[in-house]
Each structure stands twice: as C-alpha cells, then as structure tokens.
C-alpha cells in the first residue's frame, strides 16, 4: 500500500487538480489530504494589526470547511491542523508512515521557507506542481529571467498560446482516508486570537468562502446575469455585485481555478457572444498571471522599499497619519469611504485600491509597504503576488513603464463617484443632511 499525503495550500478545491485527478483511480493507495492553518499567518505585524485579519480568516475557515465536506462526499476527508506547517507535516508524515507528499508550489519567501524546512526534515520525496496561473512557467515562450518588465510585452507574447489553457476535470472519487486521522474539529476565529467578523450590509456582496460558492459566483456573473457582456464599461464602478466579477477572493486561495474561469469565458464566447468585455476579463486574468511571474523572477525584491527598480525613495512615515489612513479618517472623503469599506468588508474596488494606494505613498508620503501590509491583513482576496505587485506599480517601483504616475483623488472622485453616492454609502457624516 502506498501512503500519500496531499498538502493543500492555495489550491483549496477539487476541480482542476492535476495530482488528485492522477491519484483518483489508483488502487493500493491510502491518501491523507491535509491543511494546516499556519500560526505565523496570525502573528501581529510590527504596525500593530494581525497579519491576517478576522474577515479574511473567516473566509479561509469557510473555504477549508467546504473543502472537507466536498472531500468527504467523494470518499476521502481532510485533516485540518494548526501550528508551524513544516513541524505539523513532519509529525503527521511520521505517524502515517507516508511514502511521499504532493503539494502546490508557491513562489514567495515565507512559503518557500516552509517548503525548504519541510524538505530538510523529511527523508521522503516532496513533489511540487504549479496550479495558480493560466499558463505554467514551462509553457512560457521565454525563461523566467527573461520575463518582460512591461505587461504589454508579456501579454503580446503569451496571448497566442492561450488556446492551450485547459482545466483538469473534477475529481470524482478518491482513495480511502486513514481512519486514525479522522477529526471533526473545526477551527474558529477565537482559535487564532481574532475577534468576530460582523457582516456589513453595505458590502458589494456577501462573500462566503469555499469552492461551491466560488463556482456559484462564476456561474452567476457569466451565465445567469451575463454581466460579463458589459464588464469593460462597468469595471471602474464602486457599488454593487456586478460591476466586476468578484472572483478574486476565491481565486486567491485557489477555491476557484483561473483555468476554469478562462474555459468558462471561452465557452460563453462560443455559445453566447464574444465582445470587448469578454476579452477584457481574460486580459485582467493575465495581469494576475503576470504578477505571479514577476514575484518568481524577482524574489524578495517585491518586498523592498525600492522594489524591482531598486529606486531610492524617502518617506516621512508618520505613524499617526498612517493610522488615519488605515481607519478611514484622513479627511479626504473618497479615500475615507474606500478605507472604511475595506475595514468593514475586506473588499475594495480596483479603482478604490489605486486611489488609496497612491494617496498613501504620493500624498501622505508614507512607505507603500505599510499600506501593502494593511491590505494583506484585510483583503479577503489577498494574494501575495497581486498585492505587492500592484502596490509596487502604484508606488513607482514596479512594472509601470510610466515614471511618476499619480492619482489625483479629488478628480478621480468627481469622475467615478459623480453623484457622491459611494461616499454617502460609507461615510455617516455625509449620509445624513
């Protein structure tokens, strides 16, 4: 009997799972799927807030619970643990007498540290595979070190090979789960030292974690509401469920696969209609791929003040000013409305993110990394590469070919929140006359 551990990371789903699909019909295999809430994810940042805040943590707990249920439905289960991942996995592998471990590959320092620490401890093979992006690194028509530093150049080179993108079919049956590891314990926010996350009815939508909800959202945005047909015109709006896809929270923890989203868009284009908007959603997914490859190419540089451009920048870094930005009390209505939305719901539109980020580093002269860290704590769609890549871009130390891009937040508010309804929605001081 071969004993295999599948370590779930940011691929919390059963669709588009290459390894699980391969194991699906194997006889003589016992499979132990495991997920570990790493205690370091909940540590306090030096700026005083948890690295993972309540709303994101709640979304992740829901995601893991849904994965466990779905695994149980196909004859397996999920061992859910808490601690330092490499230590937990080492102990479990020893107890289980595992022959090998499979997991999704990550590309950034904290995650690589865990991979390396695990490999050092174990004497069994640990196999990693890529599962986040539309295209795998090996499919790119250039090596990672030759990844273009300008998105458009990247896009033009990869668009011709996008027709190779194909998700793997859903797993329908898995080998038996070892009974001695069955455990029905479900973690709560209190286990991670976090406060309750209260739902705010002003939120763009009610985000619930898990593959089932992710696939539901995919179906609703594309097929049911057909909002994809107008995406290019609506994507800069600020209020409501359908101005943009809202796929990002599920994409970020892998409960929705980007390849599945892509194939659904292609199917829709074939069966219903292809237009500029349907194209534009793929265009945005390519940004997501791009930032992942940038993180891979540049390693820790994406976390440095000077970014991948190695620029020398100086900031004032006034902590009180930062706190006002963080809590939506800068005095600028547009910035404050967006920051309030983020704090209360864990989400903010792309237009909002660009504005508050620019305001922090260009107007308030505060280190962009403080802002990126707050986003990391709050965003339910936090993705290390997309977050730090976008922040670098806005701060002028990333992949923006234009030097010194600046968002005039007042002009932007007048353009994108002409009737002030967005600001009125989020700021009590404006809501009542």
Ligand X SMILES: Cc1cc2nc3c(=O)[nH]c(=O)nc-3n(C[C@H](O)[C@H](O)[C@H](O)COP(=O)(O)OP(=O)(O)OC[C@H]3O[C@@H](n4cnc5c(N)ncnc54)[C@H](O)[C@@H]3O)c2cc1C
233, 245, 236: which is closest to 207 by C-alpha?
Answer: 245
Q: Should residue 248 be labelled a site residue for ligand X when binding is judged by CB under 6 A? A: yes
Q: Is 16 annotated as a binding residue?
A: no
Compare residues 197 and 261 and give the one whose CB is closer to ligand X: 261
- 8 known member of a binding site: no
120 labelled binding-site residue: no
We find the least distance from the C-beta atom of residue 127 to ligand X, in angstroms, to be 27
Interface residue with ligand X among 379, 380, 395, 413 (CB under 6 A) is 379
Q: What is the DSSP string of 165-194?
A: --PPPPP---PPPPGGG-------GGGGT-
Task: Consult the annotation and say whether 286 binds a ligand.
Answer: yes
Among 244, 338, 345, 399, binds ligand X (CB under 6 A): 244
Least distance (Å) between residue 431 CB and ligand X: 25
Annotated ligand binding at 291? The verdict is yes
In the structure encoding, which two tokens stand for residue 389, read together?
Answer: 């890549």
CB of 377 to ligand X, least distance (A): 11
Question: Is position 246 an interface residue for ligand X (rule: CB under 6 A)?
Answer: yes
- Name the DSSP letter for residue 44: B
For Cα atoms 148, 150, 153, give the angle at the middle one, nearest 5 degrees: 65
Q: Could you tell me what percentage of the chain is helix, strand and coil, using 3-state DSSP and rounding each to the nearest 5? A: 55, 5, 40
Closer to ligand X by CB, 68 or 326: give it. 326
Short-list 151, 398, 365, 132, CA closest to 258: 132
Nearer to ligand X, 68 or 301 (CB): 301
**By CB under 6 A, what part of segment 266-325 binds ligand X?**
281, 284-285, 287-288, 291
Shortest distance in whole angstroms from residue 221 CB to ligand X: 8
Judged by CB under 6 A, the residue of 54, 245, 253, 399 near ligand X is: 245
Q: Does 382 bind ligand X (CB under 6 A)?
A: yes
The CA–CA distances, whole Å, from 269 to 13, 163, 205, 251, 282 equal 25, 13, 26, 21, 12
Q: Which one among 32, 215, 265, 394 touches ligand X, defined by CB under 6 A?
A: 394
Alpha helices in 27-121, H assignment, sequence order: 54-73, 85-96, 109-121
How far apart CA 349 and CA 244 sit, in angstroms, is 8
Identify which of residues 90 and 223 has a Cβ nearer to ligand X in the complex.
223
Residues 332-351 that bind ligand X (CB under 6 A): 349-350
Q: Is 187 annotated as a binding residue?
A: no
Minimal distance in Å, beta carbon 279 to ligand X?
12
Residues 399, 385 contacting (CB under 8 angstroms): no
The answer to the question of whether 325 is labelled as a binding residue is no
**Binding-residue total with ligand X (CB under 6 A):** 29
Closer CB to ligand X, residue 82 or residue 223? Answer: 223
Among residues 170, 367, 383, 417, the one that binds ligand X under rule CB under 6 A:
383
Whole-number minimum distance, CB 230 to ligand X, in Å?
12
| DSSP 8-state assignment for residue 163 | G
String of DSSP letters for 245-284: ---HHHHHTTSS-HHHHHHHHHHHHHHT---HHHHHHHHH
Q: Considering only CA atoms, which of 15, 68, 31, 345 is closest in space to residue 187?
A: 68
DSSP symbol at 222: I
- Characterize 257-270 residue by residue with b for buried, 16 or more Cβ atoms within 10 angstroms of its Cβ, and e for exposed: bbbbbbbbbbebee
238 close to 416: Cβ distance less than 8 angstroms: yes
The residue range among 28-36, 95-103, 137-145, 387-395 that interacts with ligand X, by the rule CB under 6 A, is 387-395
247 is in an annotated binding site: yes
Please indicate if the annotation marks 315 as binding a ligand. no
Residues marked as binding? 231, 244-248, 284-291, 381-383
Query: Which chain residues interact with ligand X by CB under 6 A?
Result: 235, 244-248, 251-252, 281, 284-285, 287-288, 291, 349-350, 353-354, 357, 375, 379, 381-383, 386-387, 390-391, 394
């Amino acid at each position: 009997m071969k004993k295999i551990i599948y370590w779930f990371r940011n691929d919390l789903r059963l669709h588009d799972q290459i390894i699980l699909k391969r194991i699906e019909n194997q006889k003589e295999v016992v499979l132990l799927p495991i997920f570990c809430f790493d205690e370091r994810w909940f540590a306090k940042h030096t700026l005083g807030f948890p690295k993972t805040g309540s709303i994101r943590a709640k979304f992740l707990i829901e995601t893991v619970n849904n994965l466990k249920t779905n695994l149980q439905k196909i004859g397996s289960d999920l061992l859910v643990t808490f601690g330092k991942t490499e230590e937990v996995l080492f102990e479990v592998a020893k107890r289980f007498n595992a022959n090998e471990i499979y997991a999704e590959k990550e590309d950034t320092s904290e995650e690589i540290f865990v991979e390396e620490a695990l490999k050092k401890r174990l004497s069994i093979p640990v196999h990693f595979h890529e599962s986040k992006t539309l295209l795998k690194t090996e499919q790119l028509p250039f090596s990672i070190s030759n990844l273009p530093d300008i998105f458009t150049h990247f896009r033009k080179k990869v668009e011709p090979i996008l027709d190779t993108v194909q998700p793997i079919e859903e797993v329908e049956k898995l080998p038996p789960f070892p009974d001695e590891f069955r455990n029905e314990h479900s973690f709560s926010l209190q286990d991670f030292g976090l406060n309750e996350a209260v739902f705010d009815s002003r939120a763009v939508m009610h985000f619930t974690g898990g593959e089932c909800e992710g696939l539901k959202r995919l179906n609703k945005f594309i097929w049911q509401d057909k909002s994809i047909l107008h995406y290019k015109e609506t994507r800069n709006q600020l209020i409501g469920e359908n101005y943009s896809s809202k796929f990002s929270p599920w994409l970020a923890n892998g409960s929705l696969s980007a390849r599945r989203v892509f194939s659904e868009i292609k199917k829709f284009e074939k069966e219903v209609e292809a237009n500029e908007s349907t194209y534009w959603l793929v265009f945005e997914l390519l940004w997501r791929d791009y930032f992942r490859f940038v993180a891979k190419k540049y390693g820790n540089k994406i976390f440095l003040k000077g970014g991948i451009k190695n620029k020398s920048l100086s900031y004032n870094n006034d902590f009180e000013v930062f706190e006002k930005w963080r809590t939506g009390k800068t005095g600028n209505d547009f910035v404050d409305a967006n920051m309030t939305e983020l704090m209360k719901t864990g989400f903010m539109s792309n237009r909002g993110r660009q504005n508050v980020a620019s305001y922090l580093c260009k107007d308030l002269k505060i280190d962009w990394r403080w802002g990126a860290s707050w986003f990391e704590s709050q965003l339910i769609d936090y993705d290390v590469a997309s977050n730090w890549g976008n922040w670098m871009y806005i701060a002028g130390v990333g992949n923006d070919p234009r030097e010194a891009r600046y968002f005039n937040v007042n002009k932007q508010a007048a353009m994108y929140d002409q009737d002030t309804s967005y600001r009125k929605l989020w700021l009590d001081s404006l809501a009542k006359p």
